[in-house]
Amino acid sequence: MKKIEKGLKNGNKYQDEEYRAKLKKSNERSLALIKAAMDIVVAAGLLQLAPKKITPRVTGAFGFITSAISCYQLLPTRPKIKTP
């Protein structure tokens, strides 16, 4: 990312296809990492590994959020609009 930004010193980096592709991939990885971390909390709550810190309410909230993230990841991508 840094190499591409340096290569586009004066240009708009968001118009470069390579930069946008890497940014999209980075965002997808970050979202997957967040979801995996929340899944660990849900698993610990269901196994009651820390019953005083991870209550059923916390487990439910984290489960809801991870489900929402999974639904978001399954959405189809928007089609590109080509301007003349």
In this predicted model, what pLDDT tens digit does every residue of 14-35 receive, in sequence order?
Answer: 666 777 788 889 899 999 999 9
Q: If you search the block for the tokens 């899944």, which residue do you land on? A: 39
* pLDDT at site 80: 73
Least reliable range by pLDDT among 18-22, 35-39, 54-58, 68-72: 18-22
Cβ partners under 8 Å of residue 69, min gap 6: 31, 34, 35, 38
Handedness of CA 5, 7, 11, 14 (dihedral sign): negative
